[in-house]
């Protein structure tokens, strides 16, 4: 690519939507209101690892304007005892516990319940009325800590090398003769690098 003659790179280009966004005229999905529209709110775990002893949704369900309250009881349960239930590379035992916390909250922000109501404010208020009894468990945030002997196990049903483990599997890729490559190299540099988790579908909103 010829950067010198490029029309856009390095230029202060005009943002066609800039004025609308900074003046508040721009309409987003959250601004949409339609007749009969139902609003949803999700109650999330404040704990990175906790056993859910009980969930009481009675007060939320009784709040005027609430149409439905959903918990893991409403999600198909792929039981641990029956073994792996694979859909492609996904074990559905994990997936049905990820979409809505079932026996344990597995990460901070893990959905515990969801409310559908006639307004956003009612849905938010209903979430506050849901009573969750947590047994907070030890947790590991960093990968190295999760791999240590004696680390808290997130999924007790998962086993690696014959024992409960946070390692779901191991894939090793090789190409060529690595030992010979190191032997023939003029310089060998060995370092460890760490990065924060990222998601391929996250986008950032640039200032106007």
CATH value at residue 138: 3.90.1170.50
Task: Give me the number of domains the chain comprises.
Answer: 1
Q: What helix, strand, coil percent values describe the chain, rounded to 5?
A: 20, 20, 60
For residue 129, is it within any domain? yes
Return the pLDDT at 157: 78
Mean pLDDT of the 166-171 span: 87
Q: Is residue 2 part of a domain?
A: no
Backbone angles phi, psi at 177, to 5 degrees: -95, 100
Q: What is the mean pLDDT of the chain?
A: 88
pLDDT over 60 at 206, yes or no? no
Element (H, E) at 97: helix 92-98
In a domain, 139, yes or no: yes
Is 202 a domain residue? no
Phi (first) and psi of residue 103, to 5 degrees: -90, -25
Using only C-alpha atoms, the chain has a radius of gyration, in whole angstroms, of 25
**Residue range 67-121, pLDDT digits in tens:** 999 999 999 888 887 788 888 888 888 888 889 999 999 999 999 999 999 999 9
pLDDT at 208: 35
Q: Does residue 150 form part of some domain?
A: yes
Distance of CA 156 to the CA centre of its chain: 20
**Rounded percentage of the chain residues whose pLDDT exceeds 70:** 93
**Are the C-beta atoms of 111 and 101 separated by less than 8 Å?**
yes
At 9 the pLDDT is 83
Q: Can you give the residue range of the structural domain that contains 49? A: 37-184
Q: Does 208 fall in a domain?
A: no
Contact 102, 156 (CB under 8 A): no
Structural contact between residues 130 and 42, judged by C-beta atoms closer than 8 angstroms: no
Q: For residue 120, give the nearest of 202, 38, 62 by alpha carbon.
A: 38
Residue 33: the pLDDT is 84
User: Considering the domain boundaries, does residue 6 fall inside one?
Assistant: no
Q: Which of 30, 27, 13 has the alpha carbon at shortest distance from 208? A: 13
Digit-coded pLDDT (tens) for 39-59: 999 999 999 999 999 999 999
pLDDT of 69 reads 98
Cβ–Cβ contacts within 10 Å for residue 148, how many?
11
* Residues written for the chain: 208
| CA pseudo-torsion sign 48, 92, 149, 194 | negative
* Residue 13 maps to a domain: no
Does the structure show a pLDDT above 80 at 154? yes
């Amino acid at each position: 690519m010829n950067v010198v003659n490029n029309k856009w790179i390095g230029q202060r280009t005009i943002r066609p939507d800039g004025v609308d966004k900074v003046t508040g005229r721009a309409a987003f999905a959250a601004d949409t209101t339609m007749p009969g529209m139902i609003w949803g709110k999700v109650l999330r775990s404040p704990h990175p690892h906790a056993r859910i002893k009980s969930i009481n949704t009675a007060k939320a369900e009784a709040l005027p304007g609430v149409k439905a309250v959903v918990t893991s009881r409403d999600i198909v349960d792929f039981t641990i005892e029956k073994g792996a239930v694979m859909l492609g590379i996904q074990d559905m035992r994990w997936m049905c516990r990820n979409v809505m916390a079932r026996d344990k909250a597995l990460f901070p922000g893990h959905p515990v319940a969801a409310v559908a109501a006639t307004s956003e404010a009612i849905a938010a208020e209903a979430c506050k009325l849901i009573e969750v009894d947590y047994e907070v468990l030890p947790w590991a945030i960093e990968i190295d800590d999760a791999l240590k002997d004696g680390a808290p196990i997130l999924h007790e049903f998962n086993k690696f090398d014959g024992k409960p483990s946070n390692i779901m599997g191991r894939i090793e890729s090789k190409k060529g003769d690595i030992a010979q490559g190191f032997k023939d190299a003029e310089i060998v540099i060995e370092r460890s690098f760490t990065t924060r988790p990222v998601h391929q579908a996250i986008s950032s909103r640039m200032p106007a």
